[in-house]
Structure 1
Amino acid sequence: MLAIRDAVRGERVATLAEAPHGHRTLPPVARLALVGWLSAGEGTTLEWAGGPSAPGRPGRDVFGCLPVRRLRSTLAVIEEFVPECPAPPAPEERFGHVSDLAPVTGRP
């Protein structure tokens, strides 16, 4: 089980690295940050999916933006520690659900 999890996690991290950085391998600090982002996303997804449908629970549109914005923050932190892995430019728009992916991938 652990070997399968590690292989899947490795492929997910490599895919995440490829969009903003153009290559699938990362320095250890950058990899660690992305693994942390993946773990946070797994926990958030399980909480949201299994949580009660109480008033005030975020809808899918807001829930969908959370991991994207967290990834944007994670990429900015990676840039601080590993300048050769710059983050894509931050968006000018504050809360645009449809355009949320462009700041992460660098593509509209």
Structure 2
Amino acid sequence: MEMASAPISRGEDEIDIELQVHCLETKAYSAVLRAFNAESDALSWEKAELISHIRKGLRISSAEHKEILRKISSDELVKSIRITSEQDGLAACNILHAAGPPKVLDNSSARYDKVV
């Protein structure tokens, strides 16, 4: 005995899947922005261009972009990482300066054969 299959309602399922996919896209875009913001407050032209391409590819609207930036600007973890990174960079510079100028080999006493 064959059972008649009920028609599949794709409308709601497709919308649900679209929303789930867009949620993943938004999270991915947010993660990239958070990472770049944790590195530095200023973006290079290359990173700004990359963000623009990612934003288009992930279908992030201007309103979503602004909201994500607003959340990132108040994200304490991102701020903490940036501050720690900047302090570590300064500490590394201080260590290099404390070590003094780099040693240069003195070749003034080396013998060279003159080719004529």
> Which TM-score band applies after superposition, normalised by the shorter structure?
0.3 to 0.5
**Structure 2 length-normalised TM:** 0.31
Larger radius of gyration: 2
Normalising to structure 1: TM-score of the pair?
0.33
